[in-house]
A and B are shown apart, each in its own frame.
Chain A
Amino acid sequence: MKITEKPLETERMVLNFGPHHPSTHGTLRIIMELDGETVVKATPEIGYLHSGFEKLGEDLDFNQYITITDRMNYLSPLCNNVAYALVAEKLMDIEVTKRTRYIRVLLSELSRIADHILNIGMLAVDLGALTSFLYGFRLREDIYDLFEMATGTRLTTSYTLVGGLMRDLPEGYGKEVNRVLVETDKIVNDIETLLNKNRIWQDRTKEIGVISKEDAISYGLSGPMARASGIDWDLRVKEPYSSYEDFDFDVVIALNGDVFDRYLVRTEEIRQSMKICRQALEKMPSGDVIIDPGLGYSLPPKDEVYNSIEGLIYHFEVTMPNRGMMPPVGEAYVPTESPNGELGFYLVSDGTRTPYRVRTRPPSLMNYSIFSKLIEGHMLSDAPAIIGSINVIAGELDR
């Protein structure tokens, strides 16, 4: 009997992928059923980083919870800060100053650049290309320096307050941003030169993990995942928040919905974000970065607190239990366009100084839920490519 007459038969093998695996970027676990090297069925298991964010939010007041939001999506903490400040302001019906809004836009877009560049770098590392990760991280360090100038820390920024910002941008910030943007342009071009026409890169990413338009809507995908599948949906344009309507930029859309297109969307979005940053710097209005403390919703400037008795009393008034920031009874939901997609916060208030319920709409959870469908029929080695292109952030996924 010739060997070729009968195709090789293998028993199905169950493979445990994670929860601690180099390409899972933290804590994901996938139980895969394999036929040879082809994945027949994949069951993702999540919750390995479940930290009780939402329970914790019920015990912290509105400004305290902002420090917790940093730790949610730790690739772009400023976007989380902004989103939470926006929902608290909507609940309390606060109008922040124009300068506040512009600074929020500027820093959100810088975090978007940092997030996308790390995502592209990690995707490349998982597929065996270390260089673009090192290039990308050099840029990320530069952006960390910008965050450090503005907020005082590299990663856990806690920059926003309800009603404004912790402090104003330092002197000469625009010049530094412009310098980093020039650098960004160079590094993005370098990475594109390395990857776009690279034969191995194309083989590993093209027609891998294709998402159709219908699936994208049914699975609740948003952000670059949805836009790579041809859905024209960007909350910055469709439901502008924080003065995004003042800026001129393009929504990046790709049509194939595979890993390669998601990579292309992210690189092009970096360029669009640079455009927004430049416009924000150009048009930056002057003025305060916090609303009038007389309204009872914001803390007085630190200078007054330390140097005058009125300021100190006023600070206590705002921060004491049963005093200060009391929102009306009600609820609010604010969606924002985070680097991963629609990041929404849903607050329910019962009129006390702590929220009754804090819910985060985590884009990672929705984006990751399509994974088991995407990997079916692909090779095992495509799993890191698909996970990388989804950009799952475990802190946001499990909360």
Chain B
Amino acid sequence: MPLAKTFSFIKDKFPESVYDVTESSGEQIFHIRSEVVRDVLEIFKEKGFNFLADITAIDNLTLGGFERYAVVYHLLSHDSLERVTVKAYVAEDKPSIPSVEKLWKTADWQEREIYDLFGITFDGHPNMVRIMNPDDFTGHPLRKDYPRLGNKERDDYPVIKPAFKRK
């Protein structure tokens, strides 16, 4: 089983950067500091986790965690059919994390999505601009302190009147 071996290998290499290893619904979750995320994922990639299935983020405002934001990486090994979740914690005052775009191209758009929706910047990303919302959008909607109905963005358009009188 490469998973257990990889865990201990990473723990030995970055002893102070690994917070914890937990399990939820039968899946291993690896909690780390955000600074080492690129090195850790590179090790995972070398050990056979060749497929980055998904990147997402969580705002831990009321959930609780090691820091305010967590960037979540779902890795998959096509050979050993194992999955692992890596959670990298990002501080609230300076939300930034190294980009893994060089390791997997799929990270490009997903990191832009996280930047757009959570406001976490990715260092080393070639094109860190909004992807889902318009460029003049303010705020980051998936943060827990952003209201679901928004800040009146959806009402801010000119009203077009019919050019001719209609009954």
Contacts and interface: CB of A to CB of B under 8 A. Distances in A.
A131 interface: no
Interface string B120-133: 00000000001111
Given A220-B52, A344-B54, A350 B63 contact: yes
B51 A238 contact: no
B85 A333 contact: yes
B166 interface: no
A217 B107 CA distance: 12
B6 interface: no
Contacts of A359: 54, 56, 72
A332 B74 contact: no
A397 B51 CA distance: 20
Contacts of B138: none
Interface residues of A, number: 40
A357 interface: yes
B74 A90 contact: no
B109 A369 contact: yes
Given A350-B62, A361-B53, A54 B131 contact: no
A50 B134 CA distance: 10
Given A55-B148, A346-B72, A369-B105, A335 B25 contact: no
A332 B106 contact: no
A56 B148 contact: yes
Interface string A63-98: 000000000000000000000000000110100000
Contacts of A46: 109, 131-132
B25 A332 contact: yes
A52 interface: yes
A219 B105 contact: yes
A369 B141 CA distance: 23
Given A46-B131, A331-B24, A333-B74, A344 B105 contact: no
Nearest to A373: B105
Contacts of B26: 90
A348 interface: yes
Given A365-B110, A366-B106, A239 B81 contact: yes
Contact of A50 (B53, B62, B133, B148): B133
A83 B113 CA distance: 22
State the majority secondary structure of interface residues on A: mixed
B3 interface: no
B24 A332 contact: yes
B131 to A, nearest CB: 6
A244 interface: no
B49 to A, nearest CB: 11
Nearest to B141: A55
A301 interface: no
B114 to A, nearest CB: 11
A231 B76 CA distance: 14
Nearest to A333: B74
A10 interface: no
Interface of B: 24-27, 29, 50-54, 56, 58-59, 62-63, 72, 74, 76, 78, 81, 83, 85, 104-106, 108-110, 113, 117, 130-134, 141-142, 146, 148
Contacts of B104: 218-220
A126 interface: no
Contact of B106 (A47, A56, A219, A350): A219
A59 B141 CA distance: 14
Given A47-B133, A218-B106, A91 B25 contact: yes
Contact of B63 (A52, A218, A348, A370): A348
A332 B81 CA distance: 17
Given A217-B78, A239-B81, 11 more contacts: A56-B148, A217-B51, A218-B105, A220-B106, A231-B78, A330-B25, A333-B83, A335-B53, A342-B53, A356-B63, A369-B105
B74 A344 contact: yes
A233 interface: yes
A398 B132 contact: yes
A361 B83 CA distance: 15
Contacts of B56: 346, 359
Contacts of A238: 81
Given A56-B148, A333-B85, A369 B25 contact: no
A348 B56 CA distance: 12
Contacts of B24: 330-332
Contact of A332 (B27, B50, B58): B27
Given A50-B132, A218-B106, A220-B106, A357 B58 contact: yes
A52 B25 contact: no
Nearest to A43: B127
Contact of A233 (B78, B105, B109, B133): B78
Contact of A361 (B54, B59, B78): B54
9 contacts: A47-B130, A47-B134, A54-B117, A55-B146, A59-B148, A93-B25, A219-B105, A220-B52, A333-B85
Contact of A348 (B58, B81, B134): B58
Contacts of B29: 331
Nearest to B22: A330
